[in-house]
């Protein structure tokens, strides 16, 4: 299956700002993404006690003064390409949250929920509280038409999911837990839907989409991360095939 120039279930290595422009209007069912931050985040340092040599180098950060323009530009494109029934989940740390919220409002998205993802540990601090949560903004284009599969009777807006330990394995610096991504996919899409992550990193959204019989499209600017994500997807496809679910 194709969407414009893109084959679905593929990862494209390049700049999301350019690639998003090539997706036709109203073709995507769901977007789940954890965009780059504008902090001086060095992918190889302070990685939650993980051994630095196991973290793939090359994390692509956005300069602080360009963060609003960058954020507004990609969010504007996501609004154009989402179907009327579609929705988006944007992950954000608290430091740049106001920029992301302003961009969402300025583009015209409607906020449905402001979720908190609580994880099990943060970076040790001496003179402030330890950050152990992330914000997830759940936004839609049309509040009468967006999909919401109520897979839980009482779905609360604080979600507690542990970060994954990848002991002894290579990984990218900021990987989301698959369990968390799967949950968002189940609430906001159906089998066969197309899910996009323009900032794919290690490929978690693609992996979760495949496991749940959805299609995905992923963009990532750092070539080493693209290769890593492609490998992860291949492994999943292989396993699904062996187990007869492919
Ligand atoms: C916070 S990480 C995403 C992590 C991902 N959710 C995962 O589970 O691995 C953000 C990613 O965006 C990528 N990135 C930064 N600028 C980009 C751009 N202009 N186009 C595409 N990807 C970009 C970074 O290299 C990084 O891998």
d(C-alpha 212, C-alpha 112), whole Å:
24
- Kindly indicate the confidence band of residue 200, based on its pLDDT and cuts at 50, 70 and 90: very high
Q: Which of 36, 163, 185 to mutate to test the pocket of ligand 1 (most atoms within 8 A of CB)?
A: 36
Q: What is the pLDDT of residues 127-137, one digit of tens each?
A: 999 999 999 99
Q: Are 188 and 148 in contact (CB under 8 A)?
A: yes
- If you measure from the C-alpha of residue 154 to the centroid of ligand 1, how many angstroms do you get, rounded to a whole number? 32
Domain range list for the chain: 2-242
* Cα–Cα distance measured from residue 44 to residue 47, given in angstroms and rounded to the nearest whole number: 7
Q: Which of 11, 60, 95, 196 to mutate to test the pocket of ligand 1 (most atoms within 8 A of CB)?
A: 60
Neighbours of 69 (CB within 10 A): 12
Residues, the chain: 246
Q: Indicate the DSSP class of residue 37.
A: P
Residues with CB under 6 A from ligand 1: 15-17, 34, 36, 59-60, 172, 174-176, 199, 201-202, 204, 219-222, 225
Distance CA 116, CA 65 (A): 26
Confidence of residue 245 (pLDDT cuts 50, 70, 90): low
Give the position of tokens 């002894």: 168
Q: Does domain 2-242 have CATH number 3.30.450.20?
A: no
Here the tokens at position 61 are 């950060």
* Kind of pairing between the strands at 10-13 and 6-7: unpaired
* Helix, strand, or coil (residue 69): helix
Closest CA to 123 of 205, 35, 224, 42: 42
Q: Which of 219, 199, 114 is nearest to 157 (CA)?
A: 114
Nearest to 203 by CA among 29, 59, 10: 10
Per residue in 136-166, pLDDT (tens digit) is 999 999 999 999 999 999 999 999 999 887 6
User: Pocket of ligand 1, candidates 220, 223, 225: which has the most ligand atoms within 8 Å of its Cβ, to mutate?
Assistant: 220
In degrees, rounded to 5, the angle at the alpha carbon of residue 236 between the alpha carbons of residues 188 and 118 is: 50
Interval 39-86: pLDDT, tens: 654 444 444 444 555 666 556 678 888 999 999 999 999 999 999 999
Q: Specify the residue for token string 């997807």.
A: 233
Average pLDDT across the chain, whole number: 89
Contact yes or no for 35/74 (Cβ under 8 A): yes
């Amino acid at each position: 299956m194709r969407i414009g120039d893109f084959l679905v279930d593929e990862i494209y290595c390049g700049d999301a700002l350019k690639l998003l422009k090539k997706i036709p209007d109203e073709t995507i069912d769901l977007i789940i993404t954890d965009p780059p931050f504008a902090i001086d985040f060095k992918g190889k340092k302070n990685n939650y006690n993980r051994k630095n040599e196991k973290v793939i180098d090359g994390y692509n950060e956005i300069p602080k003064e360009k963060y609003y323009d960058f954020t507004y530009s990609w969010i504007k494109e996501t609004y154009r390409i989402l179907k009327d029934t579609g929705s988006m989940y944007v992950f954000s740390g608290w430091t740049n949250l106001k920029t992301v919220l302003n961009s969402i409002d300025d583009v015209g998205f409607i906020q449905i929920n402001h979720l908190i993802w609580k994880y099990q540990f943060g970076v040790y601090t001496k003179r402030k509280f330890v950050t152990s949560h992330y914000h997830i903004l759940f936004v839609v284009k049309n509040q009468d038409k967006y999909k919401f599969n109520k897979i839980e009777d009482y779905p609360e807006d604080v979600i507690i999911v542990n970060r994954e330990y990848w002991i002894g394995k290579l990984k990218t610096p900021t990987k989301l837990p698959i369990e968390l991504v799967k949950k968002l996919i189940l609430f906001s899409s159906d089998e066969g839907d197309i899910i996009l992550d323009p900032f794919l990193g290690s490929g978690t959204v693609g992996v979760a989409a495949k496991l749940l019989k959805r299609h995905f499209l992923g963009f990532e600017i750092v070539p080493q991360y693209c290769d890593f994500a492609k490998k992860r997807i291949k492994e999943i496809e292989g396993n699904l095939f062996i187990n007869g679910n492919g």
